[in-house]
Each structure stands twice: as structure tokens, then as C-alpha cells.
Amino acid sequence: MTQRLDATFGALADPTRRAILARLALGEATVTELAEPFSMSQPAISKHLKVLEQAGLVSRGRDAQRRPCRLEVQPLADASGWLERYREIWEQNFRRLDALLEEMKAAKRKRTTKGKRKS
Amino acid sequence: MLNTGTLKVTTPSDREVMMIRVFDAPRAMVFDAFTKCELLKRWFGPRGWSLALCEGDFKVGGHWRFLLRGPDGQQMGMRGKIREMARPERLVHAESFDDYPGESLVTTTFVEERGKTTVTVLVRYESKEVRDAVVASGMEHGAAETYDRLAEFLESTRSSTTGA
């Protein structure tokens, strides 16, 4: 399971591969169609597709002529507890926000105290 | 009501993610932290990443742009457009990542009770597949983080506020 998760996350660690997945989320496509939006050669795109196939995120159709690529979401769903990981990242963001809000409140208290002393 | 500090994340539908979190601060302050660049830079982004660029017009119809820079020099760009903005209670914006086609719609509401603010963030993606791909790739960025630096930061903040 860990190996599969590593393969999934490794596959997702590249912006071009993520963009390929996002495009496939809208429907299957051939390698030519996938290469189109990138200023990248077909062999380069094929390299990325191989990584995605090995991670089980993309499957290739059997049609010998076209061999369309299709998104397989099961590995993403299987990255079990993905929601938990999402929660962890945002938890960290929000803890930093907690600290910032404490600073802001302290600064506000300081300004209010100064004002009172003057009057 | 949720306890302060507990983050709840749910999937109300197969293309949405919802987060609910309580902050110990008045909502005008929390709203500002979500909509002012100098404050966003202090907390937004996976740890190890910095909000290297934050610019734009945080007002209805305004566009904004973020550039997140990672520990190894990687860059992640985001952009958005403000659809609704009613300080201090509601913010609706469309956002997209440079690496992905399509955009998601984010609705953030701020409700204050007894000096504490409950923030609800609802992110609606174009499809279940896009949601799962974006969220899982976010995991990849966050997976490398440890909690050591967070503990350090909290410690330094605690000592600076008590010092004041």
C-alpha cells in the first residue's frame, strides 16, 4: 500500500503530469491531443504518461490506431485518508493564522492602552 | 459549536470540500487575514513554501495573483477573481492554479459569537476527478512537512505576546 501511495504521490509531483490528469478528468484523449497545450514533444509527453500508467493513474485504450488515454481515479481514492491529509495541511495553515491573530490582538490591546493613558 | 483549533473537513458532494474552523478573534480581524496580502503572507501556503508574490485587488470584480515558492525553488501559481465581498461576513471568489485548466468556486463565510469567529470554506471543483487530483497533489506538497517548525513558531509567538 505504501509503495502504491509513493508511486501516486511521485506521479503527482510534476506539474505537467498534474495538468495531464486534469485534462483527462474532462474526458479521454490521445497522446497527440495531450501534447498539444504544452510546448513539449510527443516523446516527452509519452515519458510522463508512462509514469502515470505505472502509478495506475492512467490506462491506455486497446484501439491500435488511437490508444486513447483514460484517467483512473481509484489510486487517488485509495490514497486512503486523502481527506485526512488535506485536513493536516490546512490545520497547519490555520495554526499559523491563530498565531498571527494573537499578534494582531496583542497589537490592538497595546494601541488601546496607549490611547487610554493619553486621555 | 466546534472547539477553537479543531479543523473539520468534509465532502458535502463528490465535487466539493468543506472546511469549518473556529478562530479566537473577532471576525473583522479574521476577514482581513483572508483578504490582505501582508497578512496572507504570514500564514497561507504549505510549510516550507512562502507566498513570494501576492498582488491584486481584493474587491468585487477584482483579480488577484499568488505565487508560492517551495523549499527547492519550485513555483506554484494561483490566480483568482473576487465575485462577492461583504466584509466582515462573506467572500466568494473563483480560483485556479497555473498548472490546471478550469477553476473552482470558493465561498467563505465568517460568523462571530462571543468574540470567536467560525469560518466555513466551501470549495466547489469542476468535477469529482479534478477535485481528487487537485487535493491529492496538494498532499504531495504537504507530505514532506514535519511539525517541528510549527512547534517552534508557536513557541516564539507565545513568548513575544507574553513579553508585550
Judgement on whether residues A14 and A46 belong to the same structural domain of the protein: yes
**Is the same domain home to A75 and A87?**
no
Which chain A residue has the Cα nearest residue B103? A22
Q: Which domain holds residue A110?
A: 81-119
Same domain for A48 and A96, yes or no, is: no
Same domain, A68 and A97: no
SS3 B15: coil
Say which CATH superfamily domain B8-163 falls into: START domain (3.30.530.20)
Q: Parallel, antiparallel, or unpaired: how do β-strands B75-86 and B63-69 relate?
A: antiparallel
**Percent of the residues in chain B that have a pLDDT greater than 70, as a whole number:** 77
pLDDT value of residue A105: 95
Asked if the Cβ–Cβ distance from A19 to B44 is below 8 Å, we say: no
At A32, which CATH number?
1.10.10.10
Which residue has 513568548 as its cell numbers? B159
Q: Is B16 in a helix, a strand, or coil?
A: strand
A65 shares its domain with A27: yes
Kindly determine whether residue A92 and residue B140, on different chains, have CB atoms separated by under 8 Å.
no
Whether A61 and A39 map to the same domain: the answer is yes
| DSSP structure class, residue B96 | E
ipTM of the complex: 0.73
Same domain, A13 and A70: yes
pLDDT of residue B142 exceeding 60 = no
- Write down the domain spans for chain B: 8-163
Q: Are residues A60 and A110 in the same domain?
A: no
B67-85, pLDDT tens digit by residue?
A: 988 888 888 899 999 999 9
A1 and A47 inside one domain: yes
When divided into structural domains, chain A yields a total of 2
CA distance B58 to chain A (A): 19
Mean pLDDT by 10 residues, chain A (119 residues): 68 84 84 87 92 90 80 64 74 92 94 72
- Are residues A2 and A47 located together in one domain of the fold? yes
